[in-house]
């Protein structure tokens, strides 16, 4: 586990850990309004955002396509070589999250950001229902990094490289 001092900014953290990566076809599962599109797009030729809530401004944030679907129901295109779950896996039960990770498979690059502990969220609009801590993510083959997203509250960034 690596801890980066003074890394409180998620955008800075994503930029740092994506440096040197280049993808052909990426999918951002649970993209919300697409606030990370401008960070992801320089690393991929084609970027798809997937969310169950319509996102009318998404294509202005660097995405090439938007698909309205639940993460759990979305089938990744065969050409997809990278998947991003940025603050989205904690909105699924652990069983749903594991099923999504199984469907993504081991042959794609995966980057996840998630709180390191339970953090209350809006109980009506997409609440947090699971916690994906360091041990759980490492057991699934991810290299985990801590960064500070909120004062005194650490978040995790986890990367799993594709296996041949």
| CATH number, domain with residue 111 | 3.40.50.150
Output the average pLDDT for the chain: 87
Cα distances (angstroms) measured from residue 108 to each of 79, 105, 159: 10, 6, 11
> 124-128, 138-142, 149-153: which has the highest mean pLDDT?
138-142
User: Is the pLDDT confidence value at 8 over 80?
Assistant: no
Q: How confident is the model at residue 164 (pLDDT cuts 50, 70, 90)?
A: confident
- Res 5: pLDDT: 46
Domain that holds residue 153: 2-87+95-160
Write the DSSP assignment of the chain as a string of letters. -EE-TT---HHHHHHHHHTT--EEEEEEET-TT-TTHHHHGGGEEEEEEEESS--TTGGGGT-SEEEE--GGGPPPPTT--EEEEES-GGGS-HHHHHHHHHHH-SSSEEEEEEESS-----SSSS-------HHHHHHTT-EEEEEEEETTEEEEEEEE----
Tokens, residue 62: 């660097």
Give the pLDDT of residue 85.
Answer: 97
66: tokens are 């938007």
Mean pLDDT for 118-124 is 64
**Nearest-CA neighbor of 103 among 130, 139, 78?**
78
Instruction: Please state the domain count of the chain.
Output: 1
- Residue 1 has what pLDDT? 41
Q: What is the pLDDT of residue 163?
A: 87
- Of residues 123 and 112, more confidence is placed in 112
Q: What is the pTM of this model?
A: 0.88
45-97 per-position pLDDT tens digit: 999 999 998 877 777 788 999 999 999 999 999 999 999 999 999 989 999 99
């Amino acid at each position: 586990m690596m801890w980066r001092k003074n890394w409180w900014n998620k955008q800075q953290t994503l930029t740092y850990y994506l440096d040197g990566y280049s993808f052909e076809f990426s999918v951002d599962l649970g993209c919300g309004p697409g606030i990370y599109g401008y960070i992801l797009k320089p690393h991929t030729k084609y970027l798809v955002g997937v969310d169950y809530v319509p996102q009318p401004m998404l294509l202005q944030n660097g995405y090439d396509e938007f698909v309205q679907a639940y993460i759990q129901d979305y089938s990744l295109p065969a050409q997809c070589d990278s998947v991003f779950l940025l603050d989205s896996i904690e909105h699924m039960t652990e069983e749903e999250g594991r099923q999504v990770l199984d469907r993504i498979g081991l042959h794609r690059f995966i980057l996840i950001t998630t709180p390191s502990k339970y953090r209350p969220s809006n109980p009506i609009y997409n609440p947090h229902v699971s916690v994906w801590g360091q041990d759980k993510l490492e057991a699934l083959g991810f290299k985990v990094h801590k960064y500070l997203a909120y004062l005194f509250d650490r978040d995790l960034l986890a990367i799993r490289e594709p296996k041949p």
